[in-house]
Structure 1
Amino acid sequence: MEKVRVHKWSLDACVGHAKLLPKFQNQLIPSTKTLYNLLWKDELPLTLFELPEVLSRRQRGKPRISKHLNGKSIDERPEEVNDRNTFGHWESDTVLGKKRKGEKAAFTIVERLTGNYLAIQIDEKTTNGVAAAVAQLKVEYGDKFSQVFKTITTDNGSEFADFATFEALGTKIYFAHPYSSWERPINERTNRILRKFIPKGKSMNGFTPEDILSFADEINATPTKRLGYHTPEELFEAELDRIYSAN
C-alpha cells in the first residue's frame, strides 16, 4: 500500500515489480485485474481516489485547427523517431498550477524509448522560462547534450515560440500540430502522473524546484509495464553509460 499512497505507483506497477523480485512466488501474486476488481468491491485498504487513473476517462483529441507552427512540423520528423526503437528522442511541454499571472510552472520532457521524465520548475510559462530550463539541461549534460537530446518534439504553445533556436545546440526540434496533444502521447501520459503530486488548479508557487525534481524522481523509479516492469531510471542510466563510455 505504501507504493501506491506514498510513491504513487499503479496497481499494475506493483504486480509487475513483485514478479521481478525473488522473494515472491509468481503463483501467489494476484493479477492486476484481480486487484482492480477487489478495489471496486471495496475489498482493498485503498480508495478509488488514491488511484485517480481508475476514475479518469480516455478523451479523444480535438480536431486539428490551422495555426502557424513555431518551426518544423512533426510531419517532417524521421521515421526512426516514430518507431521508438532508438534512444535520444524526447517529447516536451509545460505544466501549470493555477492560471494566473506570476504563477510558476514546470517544463517537462520525457525520453521516448526509456520513458525517463525530467521536470524543471520555471518562474513563468514563457519563452524565457523555457529557455532557462533548457539552459539547466545544457549545463547538466555539457558536450553530450546533442547525443542525449537528438530530437525534441514539443507543443506549439506561445512559450515555445523561440524553441527552434535550440537547434544551435545540435538538437533537431519538431512541433506537434496545434491542439493535437495525442502526438506527444508519452509526455501527456507522464504529465498526468505528475498531477498526482500537483493536482490541477493547485498553485505551483508552494513547491520548491527540489520538490518538482523529486516528483520526477518518483515517477522514474516506478516500474512500468511497457518497460517489462523495469524503471525508466534504470534504462536511462544504462543509455547514458553507453554514451559516456563510448567517448
Structure 2
Amino acid sequence: MTQTENTTESRQEKHLNRYERNKIEAWKQLDTPLSNRKIAKKLGRANQTIHTEIKDGTVRQIKRQVQNDKTYEYESFVYSADAGQAAYEKAREFSRKKSKWMDAPDFMAYTDQQMKQEKHSPDVVIGRAKKRNLFHHEEIPCTTTLYNYIDLCLMETRNIDLHLKTRRNTKTARTRKNKTMLGELIEKHPDIVDKRERFGDWEIDTVNGLRLGKDEALLTLTERKTRYEVIIKIDGKASDPVNRALTTLKEAAGKDFELLFKTITSDNGVEFSGLIDLLKDITAVYFTHPYSSWERGTNENHNGIIRRFIPKVTRMADVSLRTIRRVQDWMNNLPRKILNYTTPRECLIEELSQLALSI
C-alpha cells in the first residue's frame, strides 16, 4: 500500500560520519557544553544515537599540575572524535559474520582436493565431511554456500571442474513409433522393487563405443537399493556377448545367484532378447516401455558417470580392463547423498552380511 501522507525524511547515510563527530567534540568542549539532546536536534539525529556515540567515544584524561614542589593529578572524562571513530570502526568490523572460507583453510584445501582430484560433487564433500566429523561443524558451510564460493572464484575449483554443472541441457520431446516388446513390462514387477527396500533388484544396459564399425561394449548392471555397479567388457552390442557375460556371472555366483539377482530390468534392445530364456526359473526379467530409459533411471545415471571417464566415440576396444576396473571402483566408493553419504560398497557389504545370516 502507498503511504501518501508520509512526512518522514529519509536519510541515505544512517551512521554518524567523521564530520559529525568533530562537531560533537567541538560542542562538548565549549565553556558551556551542549547537552546530548541539543546536539541530537542540531544534527537531526535520535537522542539515543548521540547518547551512545558519546558513551563509546568518551576517554579518560589525566592532567598533572605542579604547585609548591608537589605534583597533583586531575582526572576528567571527555568526548574524543578519534575515539568515537575508532569505536565505530571496531563495531563495524565485528558486525558481519566472517565467511567460513577465511577461517577454515584446511577444509577449503580438502574440498578442492576432493572435487578436482577425486571428482566428488560439492554436496558429497559436505555430507561426507559432516558424517565422518572430519572438521569442526563451524568450519563446514552448506552446499549452496560452497557453490557460491566456486561461482565467486574463492577456490581453486571452477565450474568447469564440476561435471554435472556443465553437461545439463534441455531436450525436446519426440514422438516415435512403437517398438517390439521382449517380455513383461515394468509395471508388472512387485511393488517392493519400486520401494528399493530389498537387495537384489538390478537394472541392466550397455554402453557403446564407436557408432560405426565393429567395436566392443560395456555391460552395466546397477543394484537399485545399494547403487552398487558391475561393469563387464563384452565383444559387442549383441545378444550372444550379453548372454556369455551373464552366464559367466551366474557361474561365479553359483547357487547364490538367485539370492543376489531377484529381478533384472532392461530396455527392449536386441542385445537383451535372450535374457528370459537364459534366466528362466532363476531371475524374473522385466522390460521398460519403448524409448523410456527413465524407467531404469538409476542405471542411466550410472552410465552418465561412466561417460565422465570414457567419453562417447571412444573406441571401447582400446579401453583396458584395468581402466574399467578403476572406473567401477571409483563409482562404488563414491559417497552418495541418497545413501546418507555412505558408499555403494559399504552398503553392499552390509547387505551381504545380512544375507549370510539369513542363509
Q: Does 1:34 align with 2:158?
A: no
Given candidates 220, 228, 233, the residue that maps to 2:340 is 228
Residue equivalent to 1:50: 161
Larger relative contact order (CA 8 Å, sep ≥ 6) = 1
Match of 1:128 among 240, 264, 267: 240
Q: Spell out structure 1 runs of 4+ moving beyond 4 A.
A: 58-65
Q: Which AA in structure 1 matches 2:319?
A: F
Distance 2:168 2:234 in 1: 29
Q: What's 2:55 paired with?
A: none
TM-score under structure 1 normalisation?
0.93
In the TM superposition, residue 8 of structure 1 has moved relative to its aligned partner by: 2.4
Q: Shift in Å at residue 59 of structure 1? A: 4.9
Quickly say closer, same or farther: Cα 1:40–1:97, change in 2 above 3 A: farther
Residues 88 and 148 of structure 1 are in contact (CA less than 8 Å); yes or no, is this contact kept in structure 2?
yes
What is the alpha-carbon distance in structure 2 between the residues aligned to residue 221 and residue 180 of structure 1?
29
Q: 1:44 to 1:147 in 2, by over 3 A?
A: same
- Give the corresponding residue for 2:325: 213
Q: Which runs of 5+ in 1 are unaligned?
A: none
Cα distance in 1 for residues equivalent to 2:192 and 2:178: 27
| 1:95-145 superposed Cα distances (whole Å, 9 cap, x missing partner) | 112212221111001111111111111111111121122123213322111
- Report the Cα offset of residue 198 of structure 1: 0.7
Quote the residue 2:262 is aligned against.
150
Name the structure 1 match of 2:131.
20
Query: 1:65: how far off?
Result: 4.2
Amino acid at match of 2:265: T
TM-score normalised by L of structure 2: 0.65
**Which letter maps to 2:116?**
R
Q: Which moved more, 1:152-161 or 1:1-10?
A: 1-10
Which of 18-27 and 147-156 deviates more?
18-27
- Using the TM superposition, name which of 12-21 and 162-171 deviates more: 162-171
**1:97–1:105: 8 Å Cα contact kept in structure 2?**
yes
Q: CA deviation at 1:192?
A: 0.7
Give the match for residue 115 of structure 1.
227
Task: Go from structure 1 to structure 2 and tell me whether the alpha carbon gap of 1:151 and 1:5 turns closer, same or farther (over 3 Å shift).
Answer: same
Cα RMSD (Å): 1.8
Q: What is the rounded CA distance, in whole Å, between the counterparts of 1:90 and 1:150 in structure 2?
A: 8
- The structure with more radius of gyration: 2
Q: Which amino acid aligns with 1:31?
A: C
Instruction: Name the CA shift for 1:3/1:65 in 2 (closer, same or farther; >3 Å).
Output: farther
Residues 118 and 213 of structure 1 are in contact (CA less than 8 Å); yes or no, is this contact kept in structure 2? Answer: no
Give the Cα separation in 1 of the matches to 2:234 and 2:114: 29
2:3 maps to what in 1? none
Q: State the secondary structure of the residue aligned to 1:168.
A: coil
Unmatched runs of 5 consecutive residues or more in structure 2: 1-111
**Is 1:165 the equivalent of 2:299?**
no
The match for 1:94 among 184, 187, 206 is 206
Query: Structure 1, residues 138-160: CA drift from partner, whole Å, max 9, x if none?
Result: 13322111111100101111111
* CA separation of 1:47 and 1:67: change in aligned 2, threshold 3 A: same
Query: Percentage identity across aligned positions?
Result: 36
Structure 1 position 195 matched with structure 2 position 307: yes
C-alpha distance in 1 between matches for 2:176 and 2:184: 17
The 3-state SS of whatever aligns with 1:94 is strand
Amino acid across the alignment from 2:325: L
Counterpart position of 1:68? 180
- Aligned letter for 1:30? P
Is the partner of 2:199 in helix, strand or coil? coil
